């Protein structure tokens, strides 16, 4: 990558201000016009326990994932930072506090673990904060100021971000943080720079002024709001809770209704009920909550009621690892529930995709009269990216409903499978809805021919969803035509897949990548064409089983090479690249 491509990692304990420092850094870099991808790792424990890491990748050109090695590590807690010193590249920098307040055991200080090819910068964060502010609470901001001064970043941009971050606090809080930042900045100005990290100027783009920092969950909220959400029902669960928290602030301003329910079953029941009444309604949850929603999702399928469910996956099963990422709810999203309960499942691959999938989910739910699941994961929900919002609202307003004909057949067996729909109160729209199998009028019927016809109808109506205008359901990247190695991916992992593919192409490997956004129904024709072009298809994903690999190979009847990882952390580019190299070597050897 030409131009600036620098990744910073800030590591500390809960309560050290690690995440706050990373937040100021990433927002300032975005304000200056850089492309930014950032992701924070935090513990499930209460304040004062557990490791926090804020990683921020700053680039002038578009990047698609975090790097597996950082250029700079800043330590706010030696015990937590020591295991990550090895993640700093050769000739990268390690910045640390060189004046600990307590005597440390041998090997207990981060400086003892810096490798020969890494460059150390020891600074007394605590004492500098004491002199600047009268206490040590600002040492994280001192460290941030030192980082900015060392690499020649403009202090004024940081002042603006600090003022914005503490705008709701007394002015004295902002002033103290600015003093702490300036003290760290001045300390760095007099430091002889040892490492080779260079921050070039950001590229000036005509649309740069409109770029904003946004998480996947933040993008979901914006998508739901722009699409005209009427009702939201939810129950708090990590990592989906921030969706409800933000909607609780935004929806009342626009006349929407938001209700925190007593549990996930109530949330999905209310969502389906509001959808039946004609509202654009949604809920959000994670894997354990989705498991509780399975029965009501079946009702939504059987009753053909539009509704939207945002699912942010975390480590499982059961309560699992609430603050770690995973892609292990694909099977439940696609197949979870009693009977043949096919529904639409979307999995965006980046923050902008979260916005579009969330908004278009309402359109899909109404057009095809079905629940729509938008499948994120913790990595994508909490990942920050610079996004340029569309100038105009891209989403269609709510579709009109109305009975047709002298006798209203709510579940009429049409050629497309989509039946006329009415909402309560519309003249001529009286009909029956239950969870039982039914005839065209909605009246219960368990006759074999009727069940066969209705089952086929519920499946047939979703097939056109794979070609829905304005939605990228599947897309190929890299070399066109025949290639040796194809990489197939979904969700947050696709950024790492793209980075690996670009590096493989640079090494002369014949390679292509394809992302699958619509997981149900699958875009079978496009997948068949991709498999036909690839000698080998690799499927990296963040789960133990290889759930997409099973879904695709089972549907197409074609073999795949699995690369499953269930570490709780995002996929690593170097792991994907190593497997691509191995497969390319095997392919070349087989061709000889």
Q: Which of 387, 418, 439 is the last residue of a domain?
A: 387
In a domain, 93, yes or no: yes
Percent of the chain with pLDDT over 70: 98
Condensed to tens digits (0 to 9), the pLDDT of residues 87-120 reads: 999 999 999 999 877 777 878 899 999 999 999 9
Distance CA(179)–CA(173), nearest Å, equals 10
Q: Based on the fold, state whether residues 293 and 179 are members of the same structural domain.
A: no
Q: Which helix (H) or strand (E) holds 524?
A: helix 524-533
Distance CA(93)–CA(195), nearest Å, equals 6
Condensed to tens digits (0 to 9), the pLDDT of residues 15-70 reads: 899 999 999 999 999 999 999 999 998 876 655 568 999 999 999 998 999 999 99
Q: Based on the fold, state whether residues 169 and 241 are members of the same structural domain.
A: no
In a domain, 583, yes or no: yes
Q: Which residue has the tokens 């793209």?
A: 498
Tokens representing 418 are 């989509």
Tell me which of 43 and 376 has the higher pLDDT.
376
In a domain, 435, yes or no: no
Question: What pLDDT score was predicted for residue 591?
Answer: 82
Condensed to tens digits (0 to 9), the pLDDT of residues 215-249 reads: 999 999 999 999 999 999 999 999 999 999 999 99
Query: How does DSSP classify residue 425?
Result: T
User: Cα-Cα-Cα-Cα dihedral of 54, 59, 65, 68, to 10°?
Assistant: -60
Q: Based on the fold, state whether residues 145 and 245 are members of the same structural domain.
A: no
Question: What pLDDT score was predicted for residue 60?
Answer: 93
Distance CA(352)–CA(576), nearest Å, equals 24
Condensed to tens digits (0 to 9), the pLDDT of residues 298-320 reads: 999 999 999 999 999 999 999 99
Question: What residues contact 591, with CB distance under 8 A and at least 6 apart?
Answer: none
Q: How many CA atoms lie within 13 A of 495 on its CB side?
A: 23
Q: Which residue has the tokens 């809920």?
A: 283
Tokens representing 255 are 């006349």
Q: Based on the fold, state whether residues 217 and 177 are members of the same structural domain.
A: no
Q: Based on the fold, state whether residues 373 and 485 are members of the same structural domain.
A: no
Question: What pLDDT score was predicted for residue 48?
Answer: 55
Question: What pLDDT score was predicted for residue 208?
Answer: 52
Distance CA(260)–CA(171), nearest Å, equals 34
How many domains, the chain? 3
Q: Which of 387, 421, 452 is the last residue of a domain?
A: 387
Under the banding of pLDDT at 50, 70 and 90, the label for residue 441 is very high
Tokens representing 53 are 């890491």
- Domain CATH code at residue 537: 3.40.50.920
Distance CA(26)–CA(35), nearest Å, equals 10
Q: Based on the fold, state whether residues 378 and 521 are members of the same structural domain.
A: no
Question: What pLDDT score was predicted for residue 524?
Answer: 98
- Domain CATH code at residue 34: 3.40.920.10
Judged on CB neighbours under 10 Å (0-12, 13-18, 19+), 1 is exposed
In a domain, 507, yes or no: yes
Q: Which of 387, 417, 450 is the last residue of a domain?
A: 387
Q: Based on the fold, state whether residues 515 and 567 are members of the same structural domain.
A: yes
User: Measuring CA to CA, which residue among 115, 63, 47, 122 is closest to residue 84?
Assistant: 115
In a domain, 424, yes or no: no
Q: Based on the fold, state whether residues 270 and 177 are members of the same structural domain.
A: no
Q: Based on the fold, state whether residues 254 and 319 are members of the same structural domain.
A: yes
Distance CA(424)–CA(307), nearest Å, equals 16
In a domain, 511, yes or no: yes
Percent of the chain with pLDDT over 90: 89
Question: What pLDDT score was predicted for residue 312?
Answer: 98
Is the pLDDT confidence value at 297 over 70? yes
User: Measuring CA to CA, which residue among 311, 321, 323, 306 is closest to residue 364?
Assistant: 306
Q: Which residues is 258 bridged to in the sheet?
A: 232
In a domain, 131, yes or no: yes
Distance CA(582)–CA(578), nearest Å, equals 6
- Domain CATH code at residue 345: 3.40.50.970
Q: Based on the fold, state whether residues 180 and 51 are members of the same structural domain.
A: yes
In a domain, 428, yes or no: no
Phi, psi of 11 (to 5 degrees): -125, 130
133 lies in which domain range?
5-189
Q: Based on the fold, state whether residues 20 and 158 are members of the same structural domain.
A: yes
Under the banding of pLDDT at 50, 70 and 90, the label for residue 206 is low
Tell me which of 585 and 406 has the higher pLDDT.
585
Is the pLDDT confidence value at 427 over 80? yes
Tell me which of 61 and 344 has the higher pLDDT.
344
User: Cα-Cα-Cα-Cα dihedral of 494, 500, 503, 507, to 10°?
Assistant: -130
71 close to 102: Cβ distance less than 8 angstroms: no
Question: What pLDDT score was predicted for residue 207?
Answer: 55
Question: What pLDDT score was predicted for residue 201?
Answer: 86
Q: Based on the fold, state whether residues 231 and 86 are members of the same structural domain.
A: no
Q: What's the pTM value of the predicted model, to 2 decimals?
A: 0.94
């Amino acid at each position: 990558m030409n131009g600036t491509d620098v990744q910073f990692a800030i590591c500390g304990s809960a309560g050290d201000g690690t995440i706050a420092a990373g937040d100021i850094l990433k927002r300032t870099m975005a304000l200056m016009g850089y492309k930014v991808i950032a992701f924070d790792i935090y513990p499930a424990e209460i304040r004062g326990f557990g490791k926090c890491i804020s990683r921020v990748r700053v680039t002038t050109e578009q990047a698609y994932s975090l790097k597996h090695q950082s250029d700079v590590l800043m330590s706010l807690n030696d015990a937590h930072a020591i295991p990550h010193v090895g993640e700093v590249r050769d000739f990268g920098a390690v910045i640390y506090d060189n004046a600990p307040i307590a005597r440390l055991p041998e090997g207990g200080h981060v400086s003892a673990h810096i490798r020969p090819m890494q460059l150390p910068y020891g600074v007394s964060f605590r004492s500098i904060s004491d002199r600047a502010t009268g206490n040590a609470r600002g040492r994280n901001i001192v460290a941030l100021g030192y980082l900015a001064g060392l690499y020649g970043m403009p202090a004024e941009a940081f002042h603006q971000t600090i003022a914005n971050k503490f705008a709701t606090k007394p002015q004295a809080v902002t002033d103290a943080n600015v003093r702490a930042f300036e003290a760290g900045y001045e300390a760095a100005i007099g430091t002889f720079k040892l490492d080779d990290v260079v921050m070039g100027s950001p590229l000036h783009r005509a649309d740069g002024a409109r770029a904003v920092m946004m998480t996947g969950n933040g993008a979901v909220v914006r998508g739901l709001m722009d699409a005209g959400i009427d009702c939201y029902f939810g129950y708090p669960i990590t990592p989906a809770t921030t969706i409800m928290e933000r909607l609780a602030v935004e929806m009342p301003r626009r006349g929407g209704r938001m209700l925190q329910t007593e549990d996930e079953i109530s949330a999905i029941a209310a969502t389906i009920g509001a959808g039946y009444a004609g509202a654009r309604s949604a809920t959000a949850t994670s894997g354990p909550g989705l498991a509780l929603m399975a029965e009501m999702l079946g009702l939504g399928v059987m009753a053909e009621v539009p509704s939207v469910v945002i699912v942010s996956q975390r480590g499982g099963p059961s309560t699992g690892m609430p603050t770690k990422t995973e892609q292990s709810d694909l099977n439940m999203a696609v197949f979870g529930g009693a009977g043949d309960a096919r529904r639409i499942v979307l999995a965006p691959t980046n923050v902008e995709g979260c916005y579009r999938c969330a908004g278009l989910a309402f359109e899909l739910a109404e057009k095809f009269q079905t629940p729509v699941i938008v499948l994120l994961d913790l990595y994508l929900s909490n990942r920050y990216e610079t996004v340029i919002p569309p100038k105009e609202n891209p989403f269609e307003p709510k579709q009109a409903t109305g009975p047709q004909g002298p006798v209203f057949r709510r579940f009429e067996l049409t050629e497309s499978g989509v039946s006329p729909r009415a909402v309560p109160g519309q003249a001529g729209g009286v009909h029956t809805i239950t969870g039982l199998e039914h005839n065209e009028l909605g009246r219960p019927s368990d006759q074999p021919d009727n069940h066969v016809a209705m089952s086929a109808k519920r499946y047939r109506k979703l097939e056109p969803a794979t070609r829905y205008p304005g939605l990228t359901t599947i897309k190929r990247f890299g070399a066109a035509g025949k290639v040796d190695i194809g990489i197939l991916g979904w969700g947050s992992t696709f950024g790492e897949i793209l980075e690996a593919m670009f590096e493989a192409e640079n090494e002369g490997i014949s390679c292509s990548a394809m992302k699958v956004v619509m997981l149900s129904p699958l875009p079978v024709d496009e997948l068949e064409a991709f498999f036909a072009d690839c000698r080998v298809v690799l499927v990296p994903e963040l789960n133990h089983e290889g759930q997409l690999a099973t879904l695709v190979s089972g549907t197409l009847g074609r073999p795949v090479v699995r690369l499953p990882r269930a570490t709780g952390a995002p996929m690593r580019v170097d792991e994907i690249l190593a497997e691509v190299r191995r497969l390319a070597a095997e392919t070349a050897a087989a061709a000889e």
